[in-house]
Amino acid sequence: MISAPPLKDIVKDLSELLTAEAVLSDEATLEKYSHDDAEWAPYTTPLSVVLPQTTEQVSAVVRYAKAQGVSVVPRGAGTGLSGGANSVANCIILSLEKMNRVLEINTAESLAIAEAGVINNDLRIAVAAKGLWYPPDPASSKISTLGGNAATNAGGICCVKYGVTGDYIMGMTVVLGDGEIIHLGTRTAKGVTGYDFTSLMVGSEGTLGIITEVIVKLLPLGGREERAIIGYFPSLTAAGQAVAAVTEAGIVPSALELIDHTCLRAVDDWMQLGLPQNVNAMLLATVDEPGETGEQLASALAGIFEAHGGEQVERATDPERISKLVTGRRLAYPALERLGPVLTEDVCVPRSQVPEMLSRIQSAAAKHDVLIANIAHAGDGNLHPLIIAPVGDEAAKARAKIAFDQIVADCRALGGTVTGEHGVGLLKLDGFASEIEPRVIAMHQSVKNALDPAGTLNPGKGFTHTAH
pLDDT digits (tens, 9 = 90+) for 33-89: 999 999 789 999 999 999 999 999 999 999 999 999 999 999 999 999 999 999 999
In the predicted model, is pLDDT for residue 468 greater than 60?
A: no
**Amino acid letter at 156?**
G
Q: What is the CATH number of domain 227-413?
A: 3.40.462.10
> Which CATH fold topology does 102-220 show?
3.30.465
The per-residue pLDDT of the chain, averaged, comes to 94
Q: What is the CATH number of domain 7-98?
A: 3.30.43.10
Cα–Cα dist 14/197, whole Å: 30
What integer pLDDT is reported at residue 467 of this predicted model?
44
Question: Nearest-CA neighbor of 203 among 244, 161, 167?
Answer: 167
Is residue 37 a contact partner of residue 79, using CB atoms and an 8 Å limit?
A: yes
* pTM of structure: 0.94
Q: Biggest alpha carbon distance in the chain?
A: 69
pLDDT in tens, 209-254: 999 999 999 999 999 999 999 999 999 999 999 999 999 999 999 9
What integer pLDDT is reported at residue 465 of this predicted model?
56
Cα–Cα dist 211/282, whole Å: 38
pLDDT in tens, 157-206: 999 999 999 999 999 999 999 999 999 999 999 999 999 999 999 999 99
pLDDT in tens, 29-45: 999 999 999 978 999 99
Cα–Cα dist 160/285, whole Å: 11
What integer pLDDT is reported at residue 404 of this predicted model?
95
Mean pLDDT of 9-16: 94
What integer pLDDT is reported at residue 273 of this predicted model?
82
For residues 169 and 277, which has the higher predicted lDDT (pLDDT)? Answer: 169
Residue ranges per structural domain of the chain: 7-98, 102-220, 227-413
377: left (phi over 0), alpha (psi -120 to 50) or beta: beta
pLDDT in tens, 92-118: 999 999 999 999 999 999 999 999 999
Q: Residue 353: CB partners within 8 Å, gap ≥ 6?
A: 244, 381, 414, 415, 416
In the predicted model, is pLDDT for residue 466 greater than 60?
A: no
pLDDT in tens, 399-445: 999 999 999 999 999 999 999 999 999 999 999 999 999 999 999 99
